[in-house]
Amino acid sequence: MKVLHISKSNTYSGMENVAINIIKSMPENIESVYLTATGSIETKLLEADISYIGVEKVDEEAIKKAIEEVHPDILHAYEYDCSLMCTKVTDTIPIISHLYSIPRWVQKIGAKSIIYGGACKNFASIIIPDKKVEEKAWFRDKMEGKTVVLGVPFNAPAIFEKGFMAGNEMSKEKLAGFKSDLLFVGYLTEDKNPYEFIRIVNEVKKTHPDVKAIMVGGGDLGSECLELIGRLNLNDNIKMVGLQHNPYIYMNQTKILVAPSKFEGFGLAPVEAMAFGKPVLTSKVGGFKTNVDDDCGKICGTDKKPVDREAFIANINELLDNSEIYRMKSEGARKRAKELNNFDRYMEEVVKVYEEIEQHIGKSI
């Protein structure tokens, strides 16, 4: 069996992490090729020794050419746009529409939701991270009978090893550069809300003048974040380190991970930080609402106010000042990471989806 994986993103984030893990975990009888836009994602693909086709832009023409080159049995399309493009280039190759998140437009009537809803009949299967994706979708009736709820693949032992082993090989002097009280991990975009992280640090500084924070990630708002850090006189408190090959070293060396996102899909970074026993403080959006609880950290927000700065500040101060509460949250984080560890089961289910599609093809011939 040959599967063509299709993603239009040229960067590495949660969805790309899912795709790469799926490809790396496939049995030998399933050959995988990744179609992607050229960019920083290529470094990850090369490191993982994944066969890929890089193009300037993933569009319908690029998908057609990739199909002609690969001759796939299945198209595995990630997110809405790629799923739609696949329906326009073939009506003979089974298409899997793999949804990592639930954009705001999905929940209301509009051009995009009408088009995707109409395209659902062309999908052999629709993989979703949570049943709520289907429940909130305006076109949920069109998805009926096609959805497979798989969550998001999370390999707690592998994550821990990447952070612990790499740090263990460093000198104490070098490792000191990775240490922080507060950590932000994510692309510097409006959805991830890096400005709010900076403002939270500014408030925490009033009670903890020497608080140390690190921001891991690149993105469009990088220069604006630097400007805000300078304007608030936080240059001695916040260090921006950009995109990192191994962000898990930073997770292992921090005290608290802070995620004040305005919007999230699954929200993988807090879950990864929990693998290191780090308490996590998040806003009340996306997957945070189901992955984070009072035992492993705190959701600092409400339905009416998803990002509550005062709640973030209060919980950070409590964790920094009360060693017993920190210890309990740390133990809770490790326990929660163990509960969420689903990697092997997830990969088995993806293979099952492929095999069921292959069997259906065989019956229809």
Chain centroid to Cα 293, Å, comes to: 19
364's CB contacts (< 8 A; 6+ apart) are none
The verdict on 273 and 160 lying in the same domain is yes
| Mean pLDDT of the residues in the chain | 93
Nearest to 346 by CA among 158, 154, 160: 154
The verdict on 147 and 161 lying in the same domain is no
pLDDT tens string 55-66: 999 999 999 999
Output the domain CATH number for residue 280.
3.40.50.2000
182 and 48 Cβ atoms separated by less than 8 Å: no
pTM for the predicted model, two decimal places: 0.84
The verdict on 167 and 305 lying in the same domain is yes
The verdict on 257 and 175 lying in the same domain is yes
The verdict on 96 and 161 lying in the same domain is no
The verdict on 39 and 126 lying in the same domain is yes
The verdict on 274 and 177 lying in the same domain is yes
Count of domains forming the chain: 2
Lowest pLDDT segment from 28-32, 68-72, 164-168, 200-204: 164-168
Predicted pLDDT of residue 337: 96
Burial 307-346 (b: 16+ CB within 10 A, else e): bbbebbbebbbebbeeeeebeebbebbbebbeebbbbeeb
Predicted pLDDT of residue 365: 42
Average pLDDT, stretch 82-100?
94
Strand pairing report for 254-259 and 180-185: parallel
Question: In the numeric block, which tokens belong to residue 209?
Answer: 């003048």
pLDDT tens string 213-223: 999 998 889 99
User: What is the layout of strands, in order, in the sheet containing 74-78?
Assistant: 52-55, 31-37, 2-6, 74-78, 95-98, 125-128, 147-149
Asked whether residue 364 carries a pLDDT value surpassing 60, the answer given is no
The verdict on 19 and 148 lying in the same domain is yes
196's CB contacts (< 8 A; 6+ apart) are 260, 307, 309
The verdict on 194 and 74 lying in the same domain is no
The verdict on 169 and 127 lying in the same domain is no
pLDDT tens string 329-358: 999 999 999 999 999 999 999 999 999 998
Asked whether residue 363 carries a pLDDT value surpassing 60, the answer given is no
Q: Alpha-carbon distance 231 to 223, whole Å?
A: 12
The verdict on 197 and 254 lying in the same domain is yes
Q: Alpha-carbon distance 181 to 238, whole Å?
A: 10
The verdict on 72 and 13 lying in the same domain is yes
Structural domain of 314: 156-340
213 and 225 Cβ atoms separated by less than 8 Å: no
